[in-house]
Structure 1
Amino acid sequence: MADLFGLLLALGAIGLFGLTLAGEFGAFHAPLDIINHFRPLILLAALAVLVPAALLIRRRAGLVAVVLSAIVLVTQGRIVVPEHIRPPAALAAMPGPAATTVTVATYNMLKHHTSSERLAAWVRDEGIDVIVLQEVGLGGRKAVAELARILPHVHAPDGALALLSRYPLSEPELVRPLFDKGARTRPDLIAATVQLPGRDPLRVVGVHFGWPQPAGIGQPIQFDWLAQDYLASSRPQRLLVAGDFNSAPGSFAFRRLAAVLPLARATHGLMSFPTRRGVFGLHPPRPFLAIDHIFAGRDLTPLQVARGPDLGSDHFPVIARFGLR
Structure 2
Amino acid sequence: MFWLLFFCTVLCVIFCVVPLSRHPHWIVRAMDFPRLQIALFLIFLVIADVVFLDFNLGSSWTLLLTSMVCLSWQLWWILPYTPLWKKEVKTARDHRPDSEVSILTANVLTPNRNAEALIELVREHKPDVLVTLESDQWWQDQLVELSDEMGYRIKCPLDNLYGMHVFSRFPLEDPTISFLIEEDVPSIHALLVLPTGDKIRVHFLHPAPPSPTENEESTERDAELVIVGRSVAESDLPIIVTGDLNDVAWSATTRLFRKISGLLDPRVGRGMFNTFHVDYFFLRWPLDHLFHSEHFTLKSIQRLPSIGSDHFSLLTRLVYNPAYGSNQEGLEADVADRQWAQDINQQQESNKNDVPSFRD
Q: Pick from 312, 317, 320: which aligns with 2:316? A: 320
User: Does structure 1 residue 273 correspond to structure 2 residue 293?
Assistant: no
Alignment partners' CA distance in 1, 2:252 and 2:88: 26
Measured at CA, do residues 88 and 178 of structure 1 come closer, stay the same or move farther in structure 2, by a change above 3 Å? closer
Distance 1:168 1:216 in 2: 34
Query: Offset at 1:311?
Result: 0.7
1:1-325 aligned at under 5 Å gives the runs: 4=1, 6-26=2-22, 29-31=23-25, 32-59=28-55, 60=57, 63-85=61-83, 87=86, 93-96=92-95, 100-159=99-158, 160-176=163-179, 178-179=181-182, 188-212=186-210, 213-215=215-217, 217-228=219-230, 230-231=231-232, 234-236=235-237, 238-268=238-268, 269-276=272-279, 284-325=280-321
Which residue identity is paired with 1:164? F
State the Cα distance separating 1:189 from its structure 2 match.
0.8
Would you say the 8 A contact 1:205–1:241 is kept in 2? yes
Closer, same or farther in 2 for the Cα pair 1:286/1:117, shift >3 Å?
farther
**What is the distance in 2 between the residues matched to 1:156 and 1:98?**
28
What residue ranges of structure 2 are gaps of 5+ in the alignment?
322-360
Residue 178 of structure 1: how far off its partner (Å): 4.1
Does the CA contact (< 8 Å) of 1:301 and 1:322 recur in 2? yes
**TM value normalised by structure 2:** 0.77
Percent identity between the aligned chains?
20
How many Å separate the matches in 2 of 1:133 and 1:42? 31
Check whether the contact 1:155–1:163 (CA below 8 A) recurs between aligned residues.
Answer: yes
User: Matched residues in 2 for 1:79 and 1:34: separation?
Assistant: 15
Instruction: Structure 1 unaligned segments of length 5 or more: list them.
Output: 277-283
Cα distance in 2 between the residues matched to 1:226 and 1:77: 29
Distance between the aligned counterparts of 1:303 and 1:98, measured in 2?
11
> After TM superposition, where is structure 1 displaced by more than 6 Å over at least 4 residues in a row?
none
CA distance in 2, matches of 1:225, 1:111: 27
Residues 87 and 151 of structure 1, relative CA distance in 2, 3 Å threshold: farther
TM-score, length of structure 1 as denominator length: 0.84
Please tell me whether the aligned partners of residues 152 and 170 of structure 2 are also in contact (alpha carbons under 8 angstroms): yes
State how many pairs are aligned.
Answer: 305
* CA RMSD, Structure 1 to Structure 2 (Å): 2.4
Alignment partner of 1:218: what SS?
Answer: helix
1:91–1:256 Cα change, 3 Å:
closer
Counterpart-to-counterpart distance in 1, 2:236 and 2:142? 32
- TM-superposed CA distance for 1:233, in Å, is 5.2
* More displaced stretch, 44-53 vs 211-220: 211-220
The superposition leaves residues 293-325 of structure 1 with CA deviations (integer Å, 9 ceiling, x where unpaired) of 001122111121111111111111111111112
